[in-house]
Amino acid sequence: MKLYTHCSGCGEEIKIKSSATDRGKLQMKYGDEMQVNCQHCEKLEKKPLHKIRAEVNSFHLFIAFGASTLLSIVIWLAFGLIGTVLFIIPFVFWLQQMNAARSFNSYSIRRH
């Protein structure tokens, strides 16, 4: 899962490096607002946590799919049909990522 927000100056996507799984953990670490820096226009601004969104990190999904495909071919050649079960791994990983992003986006912080 990757976290992002948009710059109010240029509208570019600002990536946020954090391992927080929901806005509550983000709030405990940064408070009600988080200071972000746009790499495109170099604008430094404070963003409220409800403006931060999450989405599936497709890079990790591609790695899981590639590893699963390679292992499936090797095991399928060695053991037959049982190797095709490994094709399920990227789909399980994708479902986990989707659930994590949905959970993060649905967690709301009270505004004061």
The 10 Å Cβ neighbour count of residue 56 is 19
For residue 56, CA distances in Å to 29, 60, 79, 102, 112 come to 22, 9, 33, 9, 30
Specify the pTM. 0.68
Separation CA 44–CA 66 (nearest Å) = 38
User: Based on C-alpha coordinates, what's the Rg of the chain?
Assistant: 19
| Res. 79: pLDDT tops 90 | no
Decide if 39 contacts 14 (C-beta within 8 A).
Answer: yes
User: 55-77 pLDDT, tens per residue?
Assistant: 988 888 888 888 888 887 887 77
And the tokens for 49?
């946590």
Instruction: Domain ranges for the chain, please list them.
Output: 2-55, 58-106
For residue 83, the model assigns a pLDDT of 63
pLDDT digits (tens, 9 = 90+) for 3-60: 999 999 899 999 999 888 888 888 889 888 999 999 999 899 999 988 999 998 888 8
